[in-house]
């Protein structure tokens, strides 16, 4: 609640570039809550997720207002993608500093609008407030038709896929926070159509918003299975990521370990459904990447050179508690070193 009369005009300005949902029944500021017609085509469940973009801004990771707007929308939509939901729209709560430049605000709103257009969805409401630092929270709403994806259904023997190439989020974060001259592109698109197509195929699914290793760690704990990546897992890294790994002298697998993800979906498919997956994917001109398989023992195994290493994903996740990028990268590099020195080889 911005509580002066200026609010009315300000909000009109903020939402000016947002296309309005054809299903929204209330006029702008015409009701205390936003009203959306419930789609009639068999929707049976509501999917909702809320995500705040705060540490990404305060750490300097996102300093482009357009990217802040884009990511606010995409982070929440990516959660809908991971359960297989069709979006209805989003509500955005914007906390804006008093002195935030108007041109930056326009860029930010443009990022929100463009992300909605990209995913064929809408901003249906929101709230604005003032505080010292910019912070955004999006709540995404979607429908489901009796089927949804969980993190808990993976079974030993299931094949592990990624919806797309990995490591881009961490490569961006490294380049951004270490002030590289050239930044890799970072403009994720929520994998909504892919997630929807997986509701009848995948046994488990989760988005890589916190990076690949954190995602595997969660899938492991929720499903009670482990994962072993393929010997060729590094084919799933983006070329830019491999280039940055080489240039920075970091082991490529660390780009799966860092906690700034790329908003792909990791999912498991029973072998008997692989053919169906590939058929569906082809109709969508989508190339899911086979990166490993689920194993009975609850551990994460990573082939490096000629050996298979077990990654302590809890330890790796906890490195994120370091506030400083240098310390964080140092901790990851040190872990990599210790891993390879004291390696346990599995059959």
Binders of a copy of itself in range 24-63 (CB under 8 A): 25-27, 29-38, 43-52, 54-55, 58
Interaction with a copy of itself in 262-291: which residues (CB under 8 A)? none
Q: Of 10, 100, 148, 286, which one interacts with a copy of itself (CB under 8 A)? A: 148
Site residues for a copy of itself, 159-198, by CB under 8 A, read none
Residue 82 makes contact with a copy of itself by CB under 8 A: yes
Q: What minimum distance in Å lies between the beta carbon of 340 and a copy of itself?
A: 23
Q: Assess 298 for contact with a copy of itself (CB under 8 A).
A: no
Q: Does 88 bind a copy of itself (CB under 8 A)?
A: yes
Query: In 10 A of CB 124, how many CB atoms?
Result: 22
Stretch of 72-80, 159-167, 236-244, 290-298 contacting a copy of itself, by CB under 8 A? 72-80
- Binding residues for a copy of itself, total number by CB under 8 A: 82
Among candidates 100, 77, 297, 38, which has minimal Cα distance to 196?
77
Interface mask toward a copy of itself for 91-130; x: CB under 8 A: xxx-x----------------------------xxxx-xx
Is residue 78 close enough to count as binding a copy of itself by CB under 8 A? yes
Binds a copy of itself by CB under 8 A, chosen from 108, 123, 140, 295: 140
φ and ψ of 60, to 5 deg: 85, 0
Residue with tokens 């040190």: 334
User: Smallest distance from the beta carbon of 69 to a copy of itself, in angstroms?
Assistant: 16
Q: Minimum CB separation from a copy of itself for residue 225, in Å?
A: 15
Gap between the Cα atoms of 278 and 343, Å rounded? 36
| CB 51 to a copy of itself: min, Å | 6
Rounded to a whole number of angstroms, the distance between the first and last alpha carbons of the chain is 60
Shortest gap between Cβ of 187 and a copy of itself (angstroms)? Answer: 19
Q: Does 199 bind a copy of itself (CB under 8 A)?
A: no
Token couple for 144: 């489901």
Nearest alpha carbon to residue 300 among 242, 270, 344, 263: 344
Q: Are 262 and 207 in contact (CB under 8 A)?
A: no
DSSP code per residue over 156-206: TTPEEEESS-BSHHHHHHHHHHTT-SSPPP------HHHHHHHTTT-SEEE
Helix (H, G, I), strand (E, B) or coil at 150: coil
Exactly one of 142, 188, 226, 292 binds a copy of itself (CB under 8 A); which one? 142
- Least CB distance to a copy of itself at residue 209 (A): 7
Sign of torsion, CA 26 28 33 36? Answer: positive
Contact between 206 and a copy of itself per CB under 8 A: yes
Give which of 188, 150, 165 is closest to 288, Cα–Cα: 165
Whether 188 contacts 262, CB under 8 Å: yes
Task: Count the residues in the chain.
Answer: 347
Using the contact rule CB under 8 A, the part of the chain among 65-73, 105-113, 299-307, 318-326 near a copy of itself is 318-326
Q: Whose Cβ is closer to a copy of itself: residue 35's or residue 247's?
A: 35
**219 contacts a copy of itself (rule: CB under 8 A):** no
């Amino acid at each position: 609640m911005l509580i002066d009369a200026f609010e009315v005009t300000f909000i009109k300005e903020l939402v000016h570039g947002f296309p309005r949902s054809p299903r929204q029944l209330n006029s702008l500021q015409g009701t205390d809550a936003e009203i959306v017609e419930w789609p009639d085509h068999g929707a049976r469940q509501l999917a909702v997720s809320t995500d705040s973009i705060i540490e990404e801004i305060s750490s300097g990771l996102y300093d482009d207002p357009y990217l802040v707007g884009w990511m606010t929308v995409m982070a929440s939509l990516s959660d809908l993608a991971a359960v297989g939901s069709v979006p209805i729209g989003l509500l955005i709560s914007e906390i804006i500093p008093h002195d935030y430049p108007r041109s930056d605000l326009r860029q930010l709103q443009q990022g929100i609008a463009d992300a909605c257009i990209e995913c064929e969805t809408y901003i249906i409401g929101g709230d604005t407030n003032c505080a010292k630092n910019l912070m955004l929270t999006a709540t995404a709403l979607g429908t489901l038709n009796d089927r949804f994806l969980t993190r808990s259904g993976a079974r030993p023997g299931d094949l592990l896929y990624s919806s797309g190439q990995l490591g881009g989020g961490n490569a961006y974060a490294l380049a951004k926070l270490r002030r590289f001259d050239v930044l890799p592109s970072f403009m994720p698109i929520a994998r909504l159509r892919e997630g929807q197509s997986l509701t009848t195929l995948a046994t488990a699914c989760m988005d890589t918003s916190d990076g690949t290793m954190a995602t595997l760690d969660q899938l492991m704990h929720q499903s009670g299975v482990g994962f072993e990546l393929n010997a060729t897992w590094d084919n799933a890294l983006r070329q830019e990521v491999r280039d940055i790994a080489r240039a920075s002298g970091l082991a490529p697998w660390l780009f799966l370990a860092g906690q700034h993800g790329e908003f792909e979906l990791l999912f498991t498919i029973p072998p008997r459904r692989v053919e169906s997956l590939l058929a569906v994917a082809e109709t969508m001109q989508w190339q899911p990447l086979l990166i490993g398989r689920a194993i009975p023992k609850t551990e994460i195994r990573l082939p490096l050179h000629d050996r298979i290493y077990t990654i302590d994903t809890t330890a790796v996740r906890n490195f994120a508690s370091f506030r400083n990028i240098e310390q964080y990268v140092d901790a990851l590099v040190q872990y990599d070193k210790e891993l390879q020195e004291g390696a346990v080889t599995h059959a």
